Amino acid sequence: MKASEVRQKYINFFKASLRKHTEISPAPLVLEDDPTTLFTSSGMQPLVPYLMGESYKDEGGKVVKRLVDSQPSIRLGDIEEVGDNRHTTFFEMLGNWSLGDYFKKEQISWFFEFLTDDKEGLGLDPNNLYISVFAGDEHVRVSGKVTQSLGPDVESMSIWSGLFRDKGIDAKTANIGNKKPDIKNGRIFYYGAEKNWWSRTGTPSQMPVGEIGGPDSEVFYDFGEKYKFHEKSEWKDEPCHPNCDCGRFLEIGNSVFMQFQKVGEDTFEELPNKNVDFGGGLERTTAATEKTPDVFRTDLYNKVIEAVEKTTGEEYAGKEKYGFMELMRIIADHMKASVFLISEGVFPSNKMQGYLLRRLLRRSMVKMQKLKGDVTSTIGDLSYIEIADAVIETYKDSYLDLSSKRDLILKVIKEERDKFGVTLQKGLKIIKDYKGDQLNELNAFDLYQSYGFPYEVTQEIFSEKGKILDKNKFDEAFKRHQDLSRKLSAGVFKGGLADHSPEVVRLHTATHLLLASLRKILGEHVVQKGQNITKDRSRFDFPNPEKLTDEQLKEVEDMVNKVISEKLPVNFEVLPKEEALKTGAIHAFNEKYADTVKVYYLGENLNEAFSREFCGGPHVANTGKIGRVKIEKQEKIGAGLLRIYLVLKNN
């Protein structure tokens, strides 16, 4: 099946009268009302307030509890895994949700029906489906009438077993007791929290207090014994199972049973309303229908891979043992992700989203040079433009049509290509100037980090100077960098909506007051262009032709503190987007929003509020809880762009 057919079948299946889901519009890749996370990384991310109990209203204002969509997503946390047959940084996530409505029995049964039904569904052979469920976690305590450890998800296991039995398949649990996971022993597998627990921030122990999560159940498609391979020799003789990463199995869907909220260091409470959060990768699901374990052989990548083949003169098929397929996959994936990010207004820079876009583009360019056999040549041809064009062509007849932004996309890629060409030559000059003890693994890694030089390139040049690098030492430096990057990425998330510390909540609400005060004093051209909140300060970026005078800064600060002293109530309303726009609430212009948005307002009622703004929270109950604030400093950070730092005063 083509991906467009899989996508539409999924939407239609859950919208059908028996299941009655409401289709919602996808959120943008960069959420304008959530400054705390770099990208939309899953379909559930924009829906967190509703999974925590708020009512979701459709465009007509009616509360709905069943939702379905296809959500474009970006995940860069494990960028180094791209290159195999299934990992991508950009993907579409098919999703359906129950907001306090149906739960495990309905979700598992419906998804199984969608996968196996010949008419409404995909018609997959159930003999090729394998299941994982949560094994429990003795360190997680669930409070209630009796506080007890969180046990295995026997209910999900039992539902799956019955569904397979109805198809004439004996679906035994494969790893009860001390058995190693092995498909020879059964079809349903228990795994721990690392594999079968889902929250935005990881396992139960990694979750901050206030975060929600729950056990999940994944479905894997088995492509057969001939697709089993292991690059790591120590795994060759290990038994095969859905999570063995041998290449034989592909995860195609994950039903998360969002039923717990963390309330203490190792303590959870059940949510008043249990929710279902399903996510299934369109690319992987399409691959299953085409009986290929390689997502890069589906129609979502065919044209892009063909463009890579054309511009390099190499073939994708049959080159895997030489690494050609891996290189082509990285190039195709990174260019696709870059095209979509640029289409949503992200441009290469050294900070935040722009930094990650730059990394994607430059990494794909280095891989292209390597594929062509000359990584030290000047980057100056049009290969990247042709590949980007192929991405645009792939999606031209879908809801993700990028045709209107083609000129911008190609212009940005060309400019970054030219800049990187200059940087690459600078790096080469540095390498050639290295002498003696400078030819070491740490400098090799610095060259990788600063100039995008792959290890193989540096080693080749170093060897000409008589130095053989120790790959293990290079890998150690790289791993330390990866660990730090992941911690920093987690910090970006925890520093915002997931961080419910009193200081962050107070500063978040104070920043609403700051924006409203700036608009009242300077004019309505003032809008949020950037924001970052930590426990120590709120950093707020906005456009203005010149820096504020000392008098203007004092006037803004005094206005914010005056509203704080009035102890105005802080409320919100969940409204259909069009209705929310009519309230005059501040929002990011020319940006996409979900069909339903949350409008926070500071005052007795929405119409007469001091501040009205699209936002995801969290906030204090009334402005008096903020305490006094002080504008610590202002900076000019660009042409017509200012930055203000707001801090809480101790007294």
Token pair for 468: 């053989």
Best CA proximity match to 90, nearest among 295, 352, 248: 295
**Collapsed DSSP state (helix, strand, coil) of residue 37:** coil
Q: Between 3.90.1150.10, 3.30.930.10, 3.50.50.60, 1.20.1050.140, what CATH number should domain 3-289 receive? A: 3.30.930.10
CA 132 to chain centre: 23
* Inter-CA distances, 301 with 38, 75, 332, 398, Å: 25, 18, 7, 14
- pLDDT under 50: residue ranges of the chain: 231-234, 321, 488-498, 589-590, 651
Helix (H) or strand (E) holding 142: strand 137-142
Best CA proximity match to 499, nearest among 256, 207, 205, 266: 207
Residues shown for the chain: 651
Return contacts of 154-160, CB within 8 angstroms, 24+ apart. Answer: 155/104, 156/104, 156/108, 156/215, 156/217, 156/257, 157/131, 157/133, 157/188, 157/190, 159/104, 159/105, 159/108, 159/109, 160/108, 160/112, 160/131, 160/133, 160/188, 160/217
Q: Read out DSSP for 574-642?
A: EEEHHHHHHTT-B--TT----SEEEEEEESSSSTT-SEEEE------SBGGGT--EEEEEEEEEETTEE
Judged on CB neighbours under 10 Å (0-12, 13-18, 19+), 254 is buried
DSSP state of 544: -
The residue ranges of DSSP E strands in 443-595, in sequence order, are: 530-533, 538-543, 570-576
Token pair for 275: 């929710």
Provide the sign of the torsion angle of the four alpha carbons 30, 36, 42, 48, taken in this order: negative
Best CA proximity match to 251, nearest among 189, 328, 331: 189
Bin 210: left if φ > 0, else alpha if -120 < ψ < 50, else beta.
Answer: left
> Which position has the token pair 């397929």?
325
CB crowding 378-406: b at 16 or more within 10 Å, else e: ebeeebbbbbbbbbbebbeeeeeebeebb
According to the model, what pLDDT value does residue 379 have?
Answer: 64
Q: At what angle do helices 406-433 and 324-343 cross, to 10 degrees?
A: 130
What is the pTM assigned to this prediction? 0.71
> Strand pairing partners for 572?
600
The CATH number of the structural domain formed by 502-648 is: 3.30.980.10
Token pair for 140: 């997680």
Best CA proximity match to 452, nearest among 471, 433, 473, 428: 428
Q: Read out DSSP for 95-111?
A: EEEEESS--HHHHHHHH
d(CA 531, CA 520): 19
d(CA 479, CA 363): 18
> Which position has the token pair 């990425």?
489
d(CA 607, CA 394): 45
Instruction: Kindly list the domain boundaries of the chain, sorted by start residue.
Output: 3-289, 299-494, 502-648
Q: In one letter, which amino acid is 374?
A: D
Q: In the Cβ-directed half-sphere of 264, how many Cα atoms lie within 13 Å?
A: 11
According to the model, what pLDDT value does residue 590 have?
Answer: 44
> Strand pairing partners for 281?
93
Q: Read out DSSP for 214-250?
A: EEEEEEEEE--GGG---SSGGGTTSPP-TTS-SSSEE
d(CA 194, CA 180): 16
Using alpha carbons only, give the angle 546, 550, 552 rounded to the nearest 5 degrees: 70
Which residues 6+ apart lie within 8 Å of 351 measured at CB?
A: none
Q: What is the side-by-side order of every strand in the sheet holding 596-602?
A: 570-576, 596-602, 611-614
The answer to whether 358 and 350 have CB atoms below 8 angstroms apart is: yes
Condensed to tens digits (0 to 9), the pLDDT of residues 517-530 reads 999 999 888 888 87
Helix (H) or strand (E) holding 253: strand 249-262
DSSP state of 405: G
Token pair for 344: 């949503």
Which residues 6+ apart lie within 8 Å of 394 measured at CB?
A: 299, 300, 301, 302, 303, 304
According to the model, what pLDDT value does residue 144 have?
Answer: 64
* Inter-CA distances, 125 with 71, 243, 265, Å: 26, 20, 44
**Between β-strands 249-262 and 267-281, what pairing exists: parallel, antiparallel or unpaired?**
antiparallel
Judged on CB neighbours under 10 Å (0-12, 13-18, 19+), 550 is exposed
**Phi/psi at 272 (nearest 5 deg)?**
-60, -40
**Collapsed DSSP state (helix, strand, coil) of residue 452:** coil
CA 450 to chain centre: 25
**Collapsed DSSP state (helix, strand, coil) of residue 386:** helix
The answer to whether 439 and 467 have CB atoms below 8 angstroms apart is: yes
> Which position has the token pair 């969290």?
618
